[in-house]
Amino acid sequence: MTDIRSEAELRKIAERRADAKLGFRTHLVVFFLVNSGLVGLNLLSSPNVFWFQWPLFGWGIGLVAHGVSVYGLPANDREKMVQAELERLKRRG
């Protein structure tokens, strides 16, 4: 199976991947800024009770999932699956 794509299709894929990476970077920066503020607020308001760890942990799970979806899995797995399904459908007629 030959994978021939036009320049416009390749550009669209490249833009989507770049947008996903930029989205993750923005998520990461916001995570650190907000959680730094929460740590500071916690230490100023109630230094004997560390509640900041709960939002940090919960949001951290989401951040890790976002990172895995952007960087951790091969980007072309979905495309390979789509192509395989198309081939199966074509063989059925």
pLDDT at 2: 46
* pLDDT tens, residue order, the chain (93 aa): 445 778 888 889 889 989 999 999 999 999 999 999 999 999 999 999 999 999 999 999 999 999 998 887 665 677 777 778 888 888 886
Number of folded domains that form the chain:
1
C-alpha span between 64 and 72 (Å, rounded): 10
Please, what is the angle between helix 53-67 and helix 7-45, to 10°?
Answer: 170
Q: Is residue 48 part of a domain?
A: yes
Residue 85 forms part of a structural domain: no
Residue 72 covered by a domain: no
51 belongs to a structural domain:
yes
**From the CB of residue 67, how many other CB atoms can be counted at a distance below 10 Å?**
13
For residue 7, what are its two tokens? 């320049």
In angstroms, what is the C-alpha Rg of the chain?
21
> Whole-prediction pTM value?
0.70
The domain of 27 spans 7-65
- Give domain status of residue 2, yes or no: no
Whole-angstrom distance, CA of residue 18 vs CA of residue 24: 10
